[in-house]
Amino acid sequence: MSGDPQHEPRGKNGRAPDVLRVGGWMPMREYPQNEAVDFAIVGTGAGGGTLACRLAEKGFKVIAFDAGAWWRPLEEFASDESHQKKLFWTDERLCDGEDPIKLGNNNSGKAVGGSMVHFAMVSLRFRPEWFKSRSILGYGADWPIDWREMWRYYRIVENALKISGPVTYPWGPKRGRYPYRAHELNAAAMVLARGAEEMGIAWSPTPLSTLSAPRGLAHPCAYRGFCVSGCSTNAKQSTLNVWIPRAVKAGAEIRDLAMVGRVAVNEAGLCTGVDYFREGRWQFQRAKHVVVAGYAIETPRLLLLSANGRFPEGLANSSGLVGKNFMVQSNQAVWGLMDEEIRAYKGPPSLAITEHWNYADKGKDFFGGYAYMSQGPLPVVWTLTQTKRGLWGEALLKEMQHYNHQVGLKMVGETLPQERNCITLADEKDAYGLPIARVTHAYCDNDRRLIEHALDFMGKALDAGGAKDIWRETDDTCHLNGSARMGSDPRTSVVNADGRSWDIPNLWICDGSVFPTVGGVNPSLTIQAIACRTADRIGVLAARGEL
């Protein structure tokens, strides 16, 4: 093991950490700064990490930058909620609007691998109709991509991560069995199943990106339950231990602890490279193409920070939509107590799911859908949930005594794109001297009706599952999407279906910010599928001489 990965870069001197071996290293190609690489990618999460891998495997010269550390899970991840905050993006951001969101834990990562390092591993496909939600379902915006194409890429990603899931998935077109078998259910998941059956709707073991059988050097999941604090066994299949090692083997360079502060553009209006801060100084990397993949806050922030005389409103922003249509997902829950001991801290937190209300359209007074899943909050997250309903003192301690009997159902709900929900630059500066992001968020009436429907239904399902003393957690969100949407019209979108900027042909975006709509499922699988598609499209365009 070497040094402090938060202060000393590891991707250096021709080598990179081999995260699958204790103290291991692997050779890594390095590119000179003054020689333009084919692609400089900003961010190594589900979008950037996956894209770096696929582009490198096609033979492109790629450097991917990440502001965070390159961790070795086997040696450096503690089984501890508080300590593992080191995986989160904890640089300051300002949150306002009618319904200001919380950031910093479940929805932001700062590490090589991005927030997939601490994601809950839930790996779901979009409902096919969502790719044409405007035309078919009457809300939101259409994607410029056909669902059948996306489903081919979903399959590729599911195989790359060896997703564990059921033989038959209850919703949507046939998809074949998942690569690895489903995990067994824990008691919290059984309550979801029991409630769903009582309510007459389908449920399923959740497709999860954690191994249910050995794979190479990685062991199957040991059900330790610290998934959202980072997996210290490598059972979780993520950018950090799947896509990035592949990328490095294929010749990509990853620069960790490298904060990109500006995309440089020349007189001709083309990107020339990126300014980044590493090892105490600002440096410049030349590149033929720049891909911004910082997720739905940092991506628009960087595009806005890169404003110059030629693009005074920020890069890729002729539509005025950079930073706009920012979408979270509603993440409200119902909680209750069981007579039985549940001990929901064991196993992955969301072992069972129902997508019933993603696929059923009747009986709704709102647009969009939601899934809900069983839950396994660890003590810190659980007490923060309790304090949100105002508990403290004796009342809090008394409630916390029921920890091992608590059970809950939590939604991942669709919110509609609204221009007023946006990322802008604040006056305040961060440690790099760059203006921090201001995140403005409010639900619309449709969002509220969807949430009310979900809370009502989940409450009944939890009751039917055998819980008592049921209460609602009414304030929580998850995931960040949509602040640089893709589309088929330059006036109403920031990038095209390939993630390519309408304004600057050698500037690309590859992360959740390109989503025109967000659906009622966790976005990571879709982000990776888009990254794989973007890589293939770049390959095709290059072959045609259209890059």
Partner 1 sequence: MSMHTSRYPGYDVLRKRDTPSWDEPTRKVIKERLATPSDPRFLDAVQWRALEALCACIVPQPIDRPRVPLAGMIDMRLHANAGDGFRYARLPPLREAWRIGLAALDEESKGRHELPFASIEPAAQNALLKHMQHGELASGAWQGMDPQLFFTHRVLPDICGAYYSHPLAWNDIGFGGPANPRGYVRMYYDRRDPWEAVEAKPGKERQALKENRRVR
* 185 near partner 1 (CB under 8 A): yes
**What residues between 382 and 421 interact with partner 1 by CB under 8 A?**
382-384, 386-388, 390, 392-394, 396-398, 400-401, 403-404
* 87 near partner 1 (CB under 8 A): no
* 226 near partner 1 (CB under 8 A): yes
Q: Crossing angle, helix 445-464 and helix 187-199, to 10 degrees?
A: 100
Q: How far is it, in rounded angstroms, from Cα 28 to Cα 55? A: 16
* 93 near partner 1 (CB under 8 A): yes
Among residues 79 and 168, whose Cβ is nearest to partner 1?
79
Select the residue interacting with partner 1 from 48, 55, 56, 91 (CB under 8 A): 91
Q: Crossing angle, helix 524-543 and helix 48-57, to 10 degrees?
A: 30
Question: Alpha-carbon dihedral of residues 361, 364, 367, 369, nearest 10 degrees?
Answer: -70
Select the residue interacting with partner 1 from 190, 240, 257, 425 (CB under 8 A): 190
Among residues 383 and 501, whose Cβ is nearest to partner 1?
383
Buried b (16+ CB within 10 A) or exposed e, 31-51: beeeebbbbbbbbbbbbbbbb
Helices first, then strands: H and E counts in the chain: 11, 20
Among residues 62 and 101, whose Cβ is nearest to partner 1?
101
**What residues between 348 and 387 interact with partner 1 by CB under 8 A?**
378-380, 382-384, 386-387
What is the token pair recorded at 389?
Answer: 């309903």
* 342 near partner 1 (CB under 8 A): yes
Select the residue interacting with partner 1 from 36, 95, 264, 444 (CB under 8 A): 95
* 15 near partner 1 (CB under 8 A): no
Report angle CA 155, 156, 160 to the nearest 5 degrees. Answer: 115
Q: In one letter, which amino acid is 82? A: S
Binding mask 96-135 for partner 1 (x = CB under 8 A): x---xxxxxx--x---------------------------
Binding mask 500-529 for partner 1 (x = CB under 8 A): ------------------------------
**What residues between 54 and 83 interact with partner 1 by CB under 8 A?**
75-83
* 186 near partner 1 (CB under 8 A): yes
* 2 near partner 1 (CB under 8 A): no
Q: How far is it, in rounded angstroms, from Cα 391 to Cα 291? A: 45
Give which of 128, 108, 119 is closest to 43, Cα–Cα: 108
Give which of 499, 109, 517 is closest to 297, Cα–Cα: 109
Q: How far is it, in rounded angstroms, from Cα 332 to Cα 59? A: 44
Q: Which of 145-153, 341-349, 367-375, 510-518 is the region at the interface with partner 1 (rule: CB under 8 A)?
A: 341-349
Among residues 212 and 496, whose Cβ is nearest to partner 1?
212
What is the token pair recorded at 220?
Answer: 């199957």
User: Tokens 């929900």 — which residue?
Assistant: 421
Is the distance from CB of 86 to CB of 117 less than 8 angstroms? no
Handedness of CA 71, 72, 74, 75 (dihedral sign): negative
Interface residues with partner 1 (CB under 8 A) are 75-83, 85, 88-96, 100-105, 108, 184-187, 190, 221-226, 232-233, 338, 340-343, 345-347, 378-380, 382-384, 386-388, 390, 392-394, 396-398, 400-401, 403-404, 438-439
